[in-house]
Structure 1
Amino acid sequence: MKTHRCHVPGASGPRVVLPAVEAHHVRHVLRMAAGDAIGVFDGAGREWHARIHRLDRHVVEVDLLDAVTPVAEPSLAVTLAIGYLKGDQMSTVVRDATALGVARIVLLATSHVAVPAAARQGSVVDRLTRIAASSSAQCGRAVVPEIDGVTPLDALLDDARWPGTRVVCVEPALAGAAEGLVPWPGGGDRVTLFVGPEGGWSTDELARFRAAGAFALSLGPRTLRAELAPTVALARLGDVPRG
């Protein structure tokens, strides 16, 4: 039987208290008891075998036992910069991108999407971070990607704090407007992958990518759903020779 894994940020031995969300799941959903075995990971790459020490209506305490060698992170560190999507689409993107190993996710404000005021609140990032943590727990990953709130595209392209290669996904309908963007040849160890919203990139945004020295990544001849495009793009990155 698969051991349930709990995300405990900042975990260190010999005993930790589960966060409220994890404690509720262990207590009321899984109906576990003192002495049951679980796994604990801190979201920063460390993981342990653990055992429930105390479980009551107020607290769940867990003893950290042996350290576990976590599943290795991808050799290519990818920041996914995704045009803001409505409804549950963003949750789907975060869940799948986490399972595929992205290091960071940035929510982009772009020309063809009106970002609702509520999306700019910290509660949205908190909710998406919980989704990412749940995805890491499910897929066996010991890292939870950092999630940045809504950021204008220009701010991201102009910010020198974002090292590595910039790669932009270009949909078939914009192939002509994307002339001048060289296909990504692979290589390097850091990539910021830009995936547009439902309305795609504007011609001005494509010009900004060219000026910033971004490379192009084709997702094939078909137009993909906005929430599917990041998954396909991440798979395509893995298919390009690393040099």
Structure 2
Amino acid sequence: MTRRRWIADTWTATTATLSGEQAEHLARVLRAAPGQVYDIVAGGFLHRGEILSVQPSEVVFALHEELESDAALPLHLLLAVFKFDHMEWAIEKATELGVAQITPVLARRTEKHLAQASSKRAERWRRIVLEASKQSRRTTIPEISEPAALKSALDDADEPMRILLSETEQSTSIASALAGAPGGQSGYALAIGPEGGWTPEEMNLFTQHGWLSVTLGPRILRAETAAIAAIAILSSHLA
């Protein structure tokens, strides 16, 4: 039987602690008791953890042997801010697929009220990736950056392979771009535009920063669909 997995809030070399909602769920709902064993992620490593003490506000584990686990997909997703319910679905699924980092981007065509409210949504997005990481049995939680203007996000994206999904690109597919990439690439960045796409000025900015424009094919996809399709293709390429 697969053991339930938890992600520690704090840890030392020999112990890990769950607090807040995680501790309350263990204590009150699951009625956890000392001696029970779970899988515990602490500092990006997976351990077998044995409960030492249980309180509604804090559950402490002894960390035992380290277990085998999968590494995160070496992918930084730059996701233009769009309708929050659709964007949150994309963030959840991107987490399940293994991305390492997500940067919400304030694009020219991001709706004004969404751009203004985005900074207040960042903590909600972080809770979403935490829950999705536990559900998908990840050992790392994707980093969710604060929403950033496009130029700032591009300045910070230093991955060797930088891919832009573009509605204006007709011939270079993401699969062919990945197939032609030099061997030994250690990191990838993928940019997904807002509803309405990138403006010509933003496209020029991507070009100046060395991004490669690619297409997913002739169909016009919603932003969240395009993000998941592209991540899946890249994941298959790296398998």
TM-score (norm 1): 0.84
Deviation at 1:45, TM superposition (A): 2.2
Partners of 2:151 and 2:226 in 1: CA distance:
22
Asked if 1:62 corresponds to 2:57, the answer is no
Asked if 1:53 corresponds to 2:49, the answer is no
- Structure 1 residue ranges without an equivalent (≥5): none
**Which position in structure 2 is the counterpart of 1:71?**
70
Whether the 8 Å contact between 1:186 and 1:240 is mirrored in structure 2 is: no
**Which position in structure 1 is the counterpart of 2:128?**
131
Partners of 2:81 and 2:54 in 1: CA distance:
40
**Which position in structure 2 is the counterpart of 1:235?**
232
Residue deviations 1:1-20 (CA, integer Å, cap 9, x gap): 33111111442243332121
Q: Which amino acid aligns with 1:22?
A: Q
Partners of 1:219 and 1:229 in 2: CA distance:
8
Partners of 2:58 and 2:44 in 1: CA distance:
25
Q: Which amino acid aligns with 1:68?
A: L
Asked if 1:167 corresponds to 2:163, the answer is yes
Q: How do 1:93-108 and structure 2 match up within 5 A?
A: 93-108=90-105
**Which position in structure 2 is the counterpart of 1:27?**
27
What's the secondary structure of 1:60's corresponding residue? Answer: strand
Query: What's the C-alpha RMSD, in Å, of the aligned pairs?
Result: 2.4
Asked if 1:141 corresponds to 2:129, the answer is no
% same residue = 28
Whether the 8 Å contact between 1:45 and 1:70 is mirrored in structure 2 is: no
What's the secondary structure of 2:40's corresponding residue? Answer: strand
Partners of 1:190 and 1:36 in 2: CA distance:
39
Deviation at 1:241, TM superposition (A): 8.0
Partners of 2:153 and 2:64 in 1: CA distance:
42
Asked if 1:192 corresponds to 2:225, the answer is no
Structure in which a larger fraction of residues adopt helix: 2
**Which position in structure 2 is the counterpart of 1:15?**
15
